[in-house]
Amino acid sequence: MTTARPTDLVGTVVRLALAAVWLVSGVPKLVDPVGTAVAVGAYQVLPDAAVPVVATVLPLLELALGALLLAGAGTRLVAVVSAVLLAGFVAGLVQAWARGLSIDCGCFGGGGPVPPGEEQYPLTLLRDLGFLALALWLVVRPRTLFAVDRIGETPAPAAGTAGGRER
């Protein structure tokens, strides 16, 4: 028998927030594949031939992660994939900053080269680390409310009853 715990409520808010992040970041990238390719290429870490592939797959992956989190399906696995992807984004930002590249991250669409001094590396890193913290919460505590993952769980008996029967 299962009962809702306070951490289930926190986890639900975290799950839905991370779902929103993926959905809001994936849609603009999907709608503007050329801009997404420019943003991906601006990091200067991939071979030119890989840039359009990543620019095509990335928004689809982000939208899939968002949809799965919204439904609460495979929450822990989706959180692990989210954490790996976010760690990759953080690493990409750190290397761009360390190399002195002047780019906008393209995290929520747009992106690419920007004039020197217009980069937002510290704020973008803090934001992405916050998103990573959300994903890690769900890796450790994937149990949430209103989730496909919970289908089939036996509800706890109502208060004031013994095993579901009136006392």
pLDDT, tens digit, for every residue of 124-138? Answer: 999 999 999 999 999
Residue 136 lies in a domain: yes
Residue 152 lies in a domain: no
Residue 76 lies in a domain: yes
Q: What is the pLDDT of residues 20-73, one digit of tens each?
A: 999 999 999 999 999 999 999 999 999 999 999 999 999 999 999 999 999 999
Beta-strand ranges (E) seen in 7-128 are: 103-104, 112-113
To the nearest 10 degrees (0 to 180), the angle between helices 51-71 and 6-31 is 150
- Mean pLDDT of the region 3-22: 95
For the chain, what is the domain count? 1
Residue 165 lies in a domain: no
Residue 134 lies in a domain: yes
Residue 156 lies in a domain: no
Residue 108 lies in a domain: yes
Structure-token pair, residue 152: 């089939």
Domain that holds residue 24: 6-143
pLDDT band at 166 (very low <50, low <70, confident <90, very high): very low
Residue 164 lies in a domain: no
- At CA 68, angle to CA 73 and CA 136, rounded to 5? 85
Structure-token pair, residue 137: 């919460």
Whether this model's pTM surpasses 0.85: yes
